[in-house]
């Protein structure tokens, strides 16, 4: 299979999760998910994981997935893009935010502050959880998963730099 086609198929599949993961930073929510609670000497998650951001992120990921459902019939079928279902876009979107929250929990256990870089954890936590939750509904090929594991850190970095330049993020990583 042509690698460009595989990349397009992989990105089409994961797009709702990517969008769900990227959107909360735009919202600037106020109510932290952890309610300000501590686990040991560190916050459970930190103030950057908010109820508003999580709801907005999941909602935006689902919105993007619904757009993909609507445009699917206008895309040539020989490209081989997955036809989404509502349950699949929901689990991709929820999985992305759950993965990000788990990553934040892990970072706090190591005494890292919100915004401190954690190479690969920051870039892959949302992807791995989205793939795990989506797997009962759709399991991409090993090649597509590998493409996502390789491309996601680069895409994540580019999007963070853009978010920093647009003043949505305090740090460019």
Give the DSSP H/E element, type plus range, for residue 42. Answer: strand 42-43
CA–CA gap between residue 46 and residue 107 (Å, rounded): 10
Q: Indicate whether 1 pLDDT > 70.
A: no
Q: Is 93 left (phi over 0), alpha (psi -120 to 50) or beta?
A: alpha
- Residues of the chain above pLDDT 90, percent: 75
62-120 pLDDT per residue, tens:
999 999 999 999 999 999 999 999 999 999 999 999 999 999 999 999 988 877 888 88
| Average pLDDT over the chain, rounded to an integer | 93
- Residue 152 token pair: 């996601």
Dist. CA 105–CA 109, nearest whole Å: 6
CA atoms within 13 A on the CB side of 26: 13
DSSP H helices, the chain, are 3-22, 24-27, 51-72, 86-109, 121-134, 142-165
Which residues, other chains included, contact 130 with Cβ-Cβ below 8 Å and sequence gap of 6+? 14, 17, 91, 92, 93, 95, 96, 99
Question: Cβ–Cβ contacts within 10 Å for residue 16, how many?
Answer: 31
Region 141-162: mean pLDDT is 94
On the question of pLDDT at 33 being above 80, the answer is: yes
């Amino acid at each position: 299979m042509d690698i460009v086609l595989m990349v397009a198929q992989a990105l089409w599949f994961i797009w709702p999760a990517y969008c769900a993961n990227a959107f909360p930073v735009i919202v600037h929510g106020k109510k932290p998910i952890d309610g300000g609670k501590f686990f040991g000497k560190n916050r459970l998650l930190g103030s950057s994981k908010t109820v508003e951001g999580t709801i907005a992120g999941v909602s935006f990921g689902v919105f993007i997935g619904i757009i993909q459902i609507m445009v699917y019939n206008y895309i040539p079928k020989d490209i081989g893009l997955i036809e989404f279902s509502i349950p699949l876009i929901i689990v991709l979107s929820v999985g992305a935010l759950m993965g990000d929250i788990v990553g934040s929990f892990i970072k706090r256990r190591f005494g890292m502050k919100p915004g401190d870089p954690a190479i690969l954890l920051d870039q892959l936590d949302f992807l791995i959880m989205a793939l795990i939750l989506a797997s009962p509904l759709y399991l991409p090929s090993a090649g597509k998963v590998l493409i996502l594991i390789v491309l996601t850190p680069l895409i994540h970095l580019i999007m963070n730099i853009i978010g920093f330049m647009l003043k949505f993020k305090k740090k460019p990583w």
